[in-house]
Structure 1
């Protein structure tokens, strides 16, 4: 049985989602970078959640943060490659509707962080979660969108039959 292609409007929605994530991410980073001093912490929910301004020259959890600068080009190339692959597959109608949403979230988040790397040389982070003396590494809206997109991809993978055909 041939697979039904997602409608053009479903694919446009995925790209609109990517654009919305990118825009909201960049706006939030401009706000925090302009209204906070580096390292400043403002409690939002005492004992759990702060806003702070931190810079991450590396990747997740500051991976390769001390590598000397070349890593920003590696991470930019990876983000462009993954985003390009996702965009190509969304445009060609090769993904399920859930996978289109996942792709839109990941594209918007990845490009948002690439813009930071290329303009500032680091990613701007401002969300800090903690419990007592334990602190989760600071992150931003782009990171959140990428993680949600990855989770949706995992969920979508469980919905696929063993022969690889999408369920509609």
Structure 2
């Protein structure tokens, strides 16, 4: 029990919660919508079912299929590194533990899709008039929030260390 309560793994419950939320919402989309169907929620947000065969912002989505295995290997490698890192982090490093937990949850969520389907299911679609942000999902959101926390932690940790 020490691994989970005294290390960065103390946020295991958040990782599990995000994985479940990510996979359940993706299943709701694929079982209730046809590919490219769009449901208007508010004037700047739709639920739009798309498939992403590439990485962020559909990077390499039309590369011919090899990218599935490339991104799968990257996700597995990154997930393993983060898992070990979390196990070595002391309980006091809350921001870093939270950030890494979010990134790990997102990486695993998209890894599940890529492993099962060969693509990632995206459905959250933000837009304004003719401008459209690429569709994303809960896993992508967790990764982005985690990355932002990593950046914040990298600046505040130095400042906090100077005050100690």
Query: TM-score, normalised to structure 1's length?
Result: 0.88
1:9-158 aligned at under 5 Å gives the runs 9=6, 11-46=8-43, 48-93=44-89, 96-158=93-155
Report deviation, 1:32.
Answer: 0.5
Q: CA RMSD in A?
A: 2.3
Using a 3 Å threshold, how does the CA distance of structure 1 residues 167 and 107 change in structure 2: closer, same or farther? Answer: farther
Using a 3 Å threshold, how does the CA distance of structure 1 residues 109 and 7 change in structure 2: closer, same or farther? Answer: closer
CA contact (8 A) 1:42 1:51 kept: yes
Report deviation, 1:10.
Answer: 5.7
Using a 3 Å threshold, how does the CA distance of structure 1 residues 31 and 90 change in structure 2: closer, same or farther? Answer: same
Any unmatched runs of 5+ in structure 1? 1-5
Structure 2: how far apart are the matches of 1:80 and 1:59?
A: 14
CA contact (8 A) 1:10 1:97 kept: no
CA distances 1:103-161 after superposition (whole Å, capped 9, x unpaired)? 11111110110111111011000000000011100000000000000000000000122
Any unmatched runs of 5+ in structure 2? none
Report deviation, 1:70.
Answer: 1.1
Query: TM-score, normalised to structure 2's length?
Result: 0.90
Structure holding more helix per residue: 2
Using a 3 Å threshold, how does the CA distance of structure 1 residues 42 and 81 change in structure 2: closer, same or farther? Answer: same
